[in-house]
Amino acid sequence: MLKVFITRHIPEAGLKLLRKNRSLKIDQYEKNRIIPRRILLRRVQGVDIILSILTDHIDATVMNAAGPQLKMIANYAVGFDNIDLAEAKKRGIIVTNTPGPEISEAVAEHVIALMFALAHRVVEVDTFARKNKYKGWGPEMLLGVDIYGSTLGIVGGGAIGSALAKRLRDGFNLKILYHDVKKNIKLEAETGAIFCPLAKLLKQADFVSLHVPLLPSTHHLIGAKELKLMKPSAFLINTARGPVVDEAALIHALQNNLIAGAAVDVYEHEPHIPRALRKLPNVVITPHTASATHGARNAMSIAAATNILAFAAGKTPPNALTQR
Cα separation of 71 and 92, whole Å? 7
Q: For position 53, what pLDDT does the model report?
A: 97
Amino acid at 15: L
Q: What is the tens place of the pLDDT at every residue in 14-73? A: 999 999 999 999 999 999 999 999 999 999 999 999 999 999 999 999 999 999 999 999
d(CA 152, CA 201): 9
The structural domains of the chain, with segments of one domain joined by +, span 2-100+294-312, 101-285
Residue 170's pLDDT is 86
State residue 323's pLDDT score.
76
List the catalytic residues. Answer: 241, 270, 288
pLDDT given at position 319:
96
Radius of gyration of the chain (CA): 21
Q: What is the chain's length? A: 324
What pLDDT does residue 263 have? 98
pTM for the whole structure: 0.93
Which distant-in-sequence residues (6+ apart) come within 8 Å of 162 by Cβ?
104, 184, 186, 187, 190, 191
Phi and psi based region of residue 24 (left: phi greater than 0; alpha: psi -120 to 50; beta: remaining):
beta
- pLDDT for residue 322: 85
Same CATH fold, 101-285 and 2-100+294-312? yes
| DSSP output for 40-80 | HHHHTTT-SEEEEETTS-B-HHHHHHH-TT--EEEEESS--
CA torsion through residues 308, 310, 314, 318, sign = negative
pLDDT of residue 109: 97
pLDDT at 277: 97
CATH class of the domain defined by 101-285: alpha beta
Give per-10-residue mean pLDDT for the chain (324 aa).
96 96 96 96 98 97 98 96 96 97 96 98 95 95 96 97 94 95 96 97 98 96 98 98 98 98 97 96 97 97 98 96 82
Which residues of the chain form beta strands (DSSP E)?
A: 2-6, 24-28, 49-53, 72-76, 94-96, 151-155, 175-179, 194-195, 207-210, 235-238, 261-264, 283-285
Q: Write down the pLDDT at residue 227.
A: 98
**Which of 52, 53, 60, 48 lies closest to 84 in space, CA to CA?**
60
Distance CA 237, CA 244 (A): 11
Question: What CATH fold (topology level) applies to the domain 2-100+294-312?
Answer: Rossmann fold (3.40.50)
